[in-house]
Chain A
Amino acid sequence: MIKLTVNGKKKSFAGAPFKRLIDALREDFALTGTKEGCGEGECGACTVLVDGEPVNSCLIPVCQTEGKKVETIESLGTPEKLSKLQAGFLACGGAQCGICTPGMLMTAHAHLKGGGKCDDKSVRTALAGNLCRCTGYQDIVKSVVAAAKGKKK
């Protein structure tokens, strides 16, 4: 039995310990906000935070999160009450097809929470491991910068 915290709630997982974290989240914990892009650690669509660090949930087995805190996109906000970042994406058109978006948000969230800078270059560097096929990144970066600036006020 694997014990972990998912979005602040204590959970236990009795399935195969080598199940990919993304599958455990989506299938066993019904948290389908996390998306699978490539399944091979290249795209970052599946990014979740493990103890605050962004990780590719398609690459790690759920047993590696024993005793750890996992945060998924569902922890950021709700449709009624969006987080600052999500509101930024909405306002600046930071999502097109939306497959990369949960990963972008989690990576950006970790970047800003960790005290990362919110200028164009720093945000681009932070998001360099998250691929987006639709937007050309410009509006994603704009969204993050706008959200971060709003936060500082």
Chain B
Amino acid sequence: MLEEPIYKDGVMINNQLTNYVIPTALDTPPFQVILVEKPYSRGPFGAKGVGELPMDIPGAAVAAAVKHATGRLIPTLPHTPERIAKALA
């Protein structure tokens, strides 16, 4: 919902915490981790990556929630207020 890297000539131009705003303790909602222990058939011994999941799933969940609320699926993340407003205009 917040983080949008902007690139120019292959270089990230908003590479400071002043212009690439990340959530603070006040912005972060409570969360609960549920481990689903289901082996992945293509991984060695059923292994699958877990490191990036906090990046992968919430984005899709937010997109689904926005679709649920507005009826519009916005295909690009992050769902910044600007992007949502533009999509609904």
Contacts and interface: CB of A to CB of B under 8 A. Distances in A.
B28 to A, nearest CB: 5
A140 to B, nearest CB: 7
B26 A125 contact: yes
B36 to A, nearest CB: 19
Interface in B1-46: 16-18, 22, 24-26, 28, 30-31
A5 to B, nearest CB: 30
Contacts of B16: 38, 40, 42
B18 A124 contact: no
Contact of B17 (A128, A131, A137): A131
19 contacts: A38-B16, A40-B16, A40-B17, A40-B18, A42-B17, A43-B17, A123-B25, A124-B26, A125-B25, A128-B24, A128-B25, A130-B25, A131-B17, A132-B25, A136-B31, A137-B24, A137-B25, A137-B28, A140-B25
B61 to A, nearest CB: 15
Contacts of B18: 40, 42
B25 A133 contact: no
B21 to A, nearest CB: 9
Interface residues of A, number: 19
B54 A136 contact: yes
Interface residues of B, number: 11
Interface string A54-88: 00000000000000000000000000000000000
Contacts of A127: 24-25
A140 B54 CA distance: 17
A12 interface: no
Interface in B48-84: 54
Nearest to A133: B22
A131 B54 contact: no
Given A125-B26, A127-B25, A132-B25, 12 more contacts: A38-B16, A40-B17, A42-B18, A124-B26, A125-B25, A128-B24, A128-B26, A129-B24, A133-B22, A136-B31, A138-B28, A138-B30
